[in-house]
Amino acid sequence: MNPFAVALLFLGLVCISRQNNIITWCTVTDAEEQKCLDLAGNATAHNIRGKLQCTRALNPTDCMLKIKNGSADAAVMYPDEIYTAGFCHGLEVAAGESFNGEDGISYYVVALARRSSGDLSLLEMHERSSCHPGIRTTVGWTVPIGFLVNTSQISVDEQCNFPYVVGDFFGYSCVPGVKDPEHDPKGNNPKNLCEACIGDDNDRHICANNPRERHYGEAGALRCVAENLGDVAFVKHTTVFDNINGRNQESWALDLELEDLKLLCPDGKDASLFDHQRCHLAVVPANAVVVRPSDKCRVYKFLERVQNVFGNATQGFSLFSSRGYGAKDVLFSDATQKMLRVLGSYTSWLGSSYTTVLQAFECEGLC
C-alpha cells in the first residue's frame, strides 16, 4: 500500500475489509424480510461482492441481541433504538440515511406558540398549558420533557414517574394516550394531562391515542394552539407548513396565518417560523444501520456497493422504495437519497442535542 493510502487509512477515510463477506440482516416484519430477500437476490444477480442473508427477530431489541451475539450483523433502527443499542449493548452505527445526500438530519423539534403570547418563555413554563402529539413520541414527549429535565424545570422522583411530574408542572395539557392502560396501567396518571384534549365531534374518545382525538398528532397539537386551548405545541419544524395553503382543508387550518405564530427558543427568546435551524429543542437524526463495532467497515462497504447499483434505480429493484411491499419505509426510509458512512460513534450520529434529551430518561431502565 502506498504512503498516501496508509495516511488515508489512518485517518479513517479508507475502508478496507478482508473479513467474512456474508452479512446477515435482521428484520422484524414480513415486509422487511421480503425486501431483504429481494435485495439479496438482486445483489447476487448483479454480481455485487458480498452475500446477504436475512434473519427474523421479534422486535428491534431482539435484533440488538442477535447482532451483539453474532447471529446477525446489521439492522436499520430508529434514533431512540440506536441510543439503546449503543448505550446498553455496545453496538455502533455503520451508515445512516440522508434525505438530502449531505447530512443525516431528519427534522427539528420546535416549540410553537401564538405570537400574541408575548410573555411566554421556554424557561418559564410552569403552570402553562401544553399540546403534545402523543405520549412516548419523540416530538411530543421525549424531546420536550427531556428539555425540561435538562433545564432543571422539572425533576423526576425516585420512581421515575414522568407523567406525574409533567402533570404537576403544567397547568393543563393534551397528551393523547397518557391514560391508556399501556401507559397508565394503574390509572394514576394526572387527569390534567388530558384537559386540553377535545375528542371527536361527539365529545367521545377524549385523550385517545389516535386521530379520533382531534388534538392527536402534530396537526392536532398545532390545532390545540391555534384554537387557544394550549400555550405551546411541540411539533416538527415542518408541521405548520404541512397544514397551510390548502394542504389541510379543516376550518381551523384554513384560518391559520403564519403571522399568528412564532417559535420559542431554548434561550427564552422567540423567533420566526423560518428560524428553526437556530431555534429548536433538538435535531433528530435519520435512521441508521446498527452493527458490532468491528463490522462498521464491512457493512458500510456492502451498502456502498448495493446503493451504487440500486440507490437511484427507476426500474426493477430500488433500495429506497417500498413499492409492492404493502407498507412505507420498508428497511430504509422512502425519502432516503443516500446512505452516508458514519465515521464516529453512535452518539456522533445522534448529535449532542438529541443524545442529551435521551439521557434524561435513563432512570427508566433502558437496559
Instruction: Convert the pLDDT of each residue in 286-311 to its tens digit.
Output: 999 999 999 999 999 999 999 999 99
Residue 334: the pLDDT is 96
296 and 346 housed in the same domain:
yes
184 burial type by CB count under 10 A (0-12 exposed, 13-18 middle, 19+ buried): middle
Position 5 in a domain: no
CATH number of the domain where residue 293 is located: 3.40.190.10
Residue 143 and residue 69 share a domain? no
Q: Are both 96 and 123 inside the same structural domain?
A: no
Clarify whether residues 215 and 90 are in a common domain.
no
Position 246 confidence tier, pLDDT thresholds 50, 70, 90: confident
Mean pLDDT of 190-211: 96
Identify the CA nearest to 318 among candidates 50, 76, 35: 35
Confidence of residue 10 (pLDDT cuts 50, 70, 90): very low
- pLDDT on residue 6: 38
Does one domain contain both 163 and 248? yes
Domain-located, residue 6: no
Boundary-marking domain end, from 283, 298, 314:
283
Give me the pLDDT at residue 178, please.
Answer: 97
Question: Quick one: 160 and 306 in the same domain?
Answer: no
Same-domain pairing of 245 and 313:
no
Asked whether residue 128 carries a pLDDT value surpassing 50, the answer given is yes
Q: Which of 229-233, 243-247, 314-318 has the highest mean pLDDT?
A: 229-233
Instruction: Give the 3-state secondary structure of 45-101.
Output: HCCCCCEEEEEECCCHHHHHHHHHHCCCCEEEECHHHHHHHHHHHCCEEEEEEECCC
* 7: in domain: no
Final residue belonging to a domain, choices 283, 314, 333 = 283
Residues 301, 359 within the same domain: yes
Query: Residue 62: which domain range?
Result: 19-102+286-364
**What was the pLDDT predicted at 158?**
75
Place of cell 478482508: 18
User: Is beta strand 282-285 parallel, antiparallel or unpaired with respect to 172-174?
Assistant: unpaired
**Domain check: are 221 and 120 in the same one?**
yes
pTM for the model stands at 0.89
Cα 160 to Cα 26, 125, 155, distances in angstroms? 32, 21, 9
Across 39-57, average pLDDT: 97
12 in a structural domain: no
The domain boundary, picked from 266, 283, 300, lies at 283
In a domain, 200, yes or no: yes
- The total domain count for the chain is 2
205 and 176 belong to one structural domain: yes
Q: pLDDT value at position 3? A: 41
In this predicted structure, what is the pLDDT of residue 119? Answer: 86
- 279 and 130: one domain? yes
| 273/261 Cα distance (integer angstroms) | 7
Does 77 lie in the same domain as 204?
no
In a domain, 47, yes or no: yes
**Mean pLDDT confidence for 51-69:** 98
In a domain, 2, yes or no: no
